[in-house]
Each structure stands twice: as C-alpha cells, then as structure tokens.
C-alpha cells in the first residue's frame, strides 16, 4: 500500500473517503480501497460501526476497485468476499459459501 502522508490525506477531496463527513477510510487508490474494506469489516464485527455504514464503505471501495454491483465470487448476493465468520475454535476464518 502506498504511503499516505498527512499532507496528502488532508488534500484529498471528501469524495475519496468511505465516510466523507468524518474523513475516515481514505481511498485514493486500489490498495487503500482494499484496506478500507478490511478495516470496515473489523469495525462492524467489533460493533464500532453499523452494518449499513460497512456496506456504504464497501460500495465506495468497490467503485474505486472498478467492481460492478452484484459481482460476487461466492454467488450469494448477501455474502461479501471480505466477510469473515467466527468458527467454534475462536479464530477468524474467511468463509467461502457457495
């Protein structure tokens, strides 16, 4: 992921953020967009952001990444590739439902 300095982050337009009002989850490039999706998923699982906010961040990141709506590798429109499930052993595992 490219280094995003404070000066460069401050110059980004609001439209470059997953949460523009709070200037959170910057997405100036694809690597930051992928990172934003991961961080948003983590924050939603911790209860720090709502599921709706996570979906907004994911949608913005998908636009940055050039993904089309509904283009889901799992074939399940309600299940995102970045979704993680807690298994019985307490570790996070990437789930792959088909």
Residues 42-58: tens digit of each pLDDT = 999 999 999 999 999 99
Domain housing 29: 14-94
Write down the pTM of the prediction. 0.66
DSSP state of 19: E
| Count: domains in the chain | 1
Domain presence at residue 1: no
Domain presence at residue 8: no
Q: For CA atoms 86, 77, 74, 33, give the dihedral sign.
A: negative
pLDDT recorded at residue 6: 93
pLDDT recorded at residue 70: 56
Domain presence at residue 74: yes
pLDDT recorded at residue 1: 75
pLDDT recorded at residue 65: 94
Distances (CA, A) of 98 to 17, 22, 73, 79: 31, 36, 9, 10
Mean pLDDT split into 10-residue runs, the chain, 98 residues: 88 94 94 96 96 96 83 46 44 46
């Amino acid at each position: 992921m490219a280094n995003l300095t404070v000066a460069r982050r401050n110059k980004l337009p609001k439209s470059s953020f997953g949460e523009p009002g709070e200037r959170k989850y910057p997405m100036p490039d694809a690597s930051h967009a992928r990172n934003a999706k991961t961080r948003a998923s983590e924050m939603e699982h911790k209860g720090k952001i709502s599921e709706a906010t996570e979906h907004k961040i994911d949608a913005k990141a998908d636009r940055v990444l050039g993904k089309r709506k509904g283009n889901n590798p799992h074939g399940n429109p309600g299940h995102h590739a970045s979704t993680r499930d807690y298994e019985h052993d307490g570790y996070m595992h990437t789930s792959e439902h088909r």
